[in-house]
Structure formats: structure tokens, C-alpha cells
Chain A
Amino acid sequence: MNSSIIKNGIRFVLLVLAQILIFKSIDLDTNGFSYFTIFFYPIFILLLPIRTPTVLVVFLGFILGLTVDVFYDSLGVHAGASVFSAFIRSTILNVLEPRGGYEVNASPTKSNYGINFFFRYAAIFMFFHILVYFSLEIFTPVYFNEIFIRTGFSFILSLLFVIIFQYLFNPKE
């Protein structure tokens, strides 16, 4: 249990650093209009142990989003998206629950439940995270199209990096 907290703590720091040092600078910025943002930090919420209470997941999501916001200078936007995706995480997990159920203290990773499971899980999770992010970022239904175009681009690229992360580190928990 303790090792899980330490591991997740380290992951938190490293993911935020990766996000703000690497992915923030590769936003494709054309004429001040970025078509996509790569979301890497949600991996932290994605990989929390399955049995983590929703209260804790939502709270950690808030802290994570707020930390990223401080560096993106967009207070509340990443946090709002993270709180939302953290909240629906348990629902996604329930829907995708394999026939045998989840093991105690397991994390929803590729190595535990296979790439098939992980891909679907990450796709649903990331889609909602990014959709809420751009809804808050653009903040008006007037630019409905823009919300969807940017969500689409960002979704594909972010999901790619989330999957690559699984293949690179193949974490068990």
C-alpha cells in the first residue's frame, strides 16, 4: 500500500514535469492558434489503483489539474477537465469490467488486463477529458465546430502517447 502511494507520488511529479517541459512546447502553434494540445498528465488518474475511492480520485484529479494549470496559466481549465474525467473513471471501469472482475489492489494497466482493455479504457477516458477541456477552454457553444475539431486532433495524438507510455514502461501498478 505504501509503495503504491510513493510510486503514484513519483508518477505525479514526473508526469507533470513531462507535460510542462516537453508537451507544452510541442503544441503546434500556427498564427497563435493551436490545433491540438497533447494531454499526457491524465495518465496519472488513468493508472490509479482500481479500488481507489471516487472521492480520492476526484480530489487527486483536482490537485493534478490545478498543478498543470499553474504552468499553463489557465487556472481552472485543466482542473475542471481532470475533475470531470476523474469522476467518470469508476463508471468507465464498471462498464469495461472483465468477466472475472478486477483483482484487489490492481491498476488498470496494459500488463494486467491486456492492450484491448487498456485501449478502450484509455480512449473513453481521454475523449471525455479532452472534450471537457476544450469546452472550458473555448467556453462558448458558438464555436461548436472548433471544440470538436480540436478535441479530435488532440484526442488522437494524446491517445497515441498514452499507449506509447504503456509500451515503454509497461507499468504493473
Chain B
Amino acid sequence: MRSLVLFLVQYGGVALFFLLEAVCLYLVVNYNQKQEEIWLNSSNIISGTILNFRSDISQYYNLSEFADSLAADNARLKARLNNAQFVQTILMDSIKDVEKQQQFTYIAARVVNSTIHLHNNTFTIDRGSKHGIQPHMGVIDSNPGGGIVGIVTNVSENYSVVMALLHQEIKVPAALSRNKYHGFLSWQPSNPKKINLIDVPKHAEIRRKDTVETSTHSALFPAGIPVGIVDTFWQDPGSNFHTISAKLINDLGNVQYVYVVNNLMKGEIVKLEEEASGE
């Protein structure tokens, strides 16, 4: 009992001080009109700060619009890269005249619908004929590591449907980046993370971890975009070709932004090849 009294004498002052100051503050705010108003106003300032914070968050949601404009910017910049240019270099005597002409332009688009678990998968993107998209245009991923998405098949005014890389009918020329041996990308409905490179010549030297990239044979994609990493390869009995199973560089399950590739010289190539085969 004595020690309790001593304890109270020693520390009770501090406790009582805080308690009574709290009581005083309560009295001040509740029984004095001016202070009450100031108190309420200050509370409003605090709630105002919270509301501001909330609007900051809603701005965050507007970020998607912002991202759209950035994607469009990217498309413009991508079109200025080297692999989007057709090099018109002419060697004449010893004068080297380097001239470049625009070959590829890009249209940024957002994926609005996609499937990856069906046998024939498609993507729907929010750009259409109004924005310059035509069937048989290539679609690449916005993923900085590379990766392609598929080929445009149907176009409406505002939307386009893309035959995904994960489609049984897909056939995109591709090559090994190390030695440039060609083949075709083809997909068997099994694993949405893997793709096959078929028709690779038998004598091609293949190693695991080789990169598969888009080739110069394709009129739909600029050359040199990484597509996958070689995982396994084999030779079917009686066949003269290797089949390579590669792991896709991009995950088609979470593609958000894509670029539709517009090859300005495709018409010329197609026309020429038709003429040649018609002869």
C-alpha cells in the first residue's frame, strides 16, 4: 500500500497531467463556440486531405489512357528502328550511298479479349480498319524482350481479330538466330508456353538455349524479333527435317498491349511473287 502511494506520488503527476489536459481539451472544444468551429474546420482540412488522396488514386486509374498514349509513342519510335527500314544501299565504284526507306510502321493496340487454352486461339484488339489495320498483318508483343502474338485475320471498323501464335493453322517463317537456318513456327494444341519450329534442314546444327527469331523471309514481321528459346529437338522417322520445340519468350496469357505491323512493301512482294508463279 505504501509503495502504491509512493508510486502514485512519483508517476501519478504525469498521468494525471495528461488525463486532465485531455479533459480540458474536450471541454474547450465542446463548450466554446469559436474553438469548436476551428476544431470542425481543422477536421475538414484533414478530411479534405483524405479526399485529395482519393483523387490521386483515381488518377492512377486513368493511367490506362496514359499508357495508351505511351504505346502510340512507342509505335512511332519502333517504326524508326533499323529493322523497320528497307536499306537501299547502292555500291557504285567506291562511293557508298546509304539510303533508307520506311518499310514497317506500327499501330499500337490493346488486347480486349483473348483465349489461350483452346485448340485454335484468337485475340481481339481494339483497333480496326478505321485505324489502318488490314487482314494478314503481323502482330507483335509490347514486351521489351520480344515475342510475337499472331496474324490479323478479321477486321471490323474498330476491332480486329488476331489468329494467335497458339493456333493450329499458324505458319510463320522463323529462323535460328545463331546460324539463320529457316523453318516455320507451328503450334500443336498442347502447351500455351511452347511452340514448334518445323521444317528445319537436317544438316542444321541446333543447340539447346538457341534463340528462335523472326526471319527475313516473313513479309509480316520485321526480322530479328526473338520468339522463343530452343528446348528440345528431334527428327521424325523418314523425315529430312528437324522439329524444334521452343519455349515462348512472351507469355500469351497476359498480353496487354500489342503492335500491329504494317509492311509498306508487302503489296509489292506479293504482286511480284504472284507474277513469278503465274509464268
Contacts and interface: CB of A to CB of B under 8 A. Distances in A.
Given A75-B27, A77-B28, A84-B21, A139 B34 contact: yes
B192 to A, nearest CB: 62
Interface stretch (A22-30, A41-49, A55-63): A55-63
A132 B39 CA distance: 17
A84 B13 CA distance: 11
Contacts of B32: 74-77
Interface of A: 53-55, 57-59, 61-62, 65, 69, 74-77, 79-80, 83-84, 86-87, 90, 136, 139-140
A5 B138 CA distance: 98
Contacts of B13: 53-55, 57-58, 87, 90
A58 B17 contact: yes
B9 A79 contact: no
Contact of A76 (B8, B14, B26): B26
Given A55-B8, A77-B32, A83 B24 contact: yes
B44 to A, nearest CB: 13
A110 to B, nearest CB: 26
Q: Give the 9 A-B CB pairs with smallest separation, nearest first.
A: A54-B13, A76-B27, A80-B24, A76-B28, A75-B31, A55-B12, A87-B17, A139-B35, A76-B24
B42 interface: yes
Contact of A58 (B16, B31, B34, B39): B16
A83 B23 CA distance: 10
B35 A55 contact: no
A108 to B, nearest CB: 17
5 contacts: A53-B9, A74-B32, A76-B24, A76-B27, A76-B32
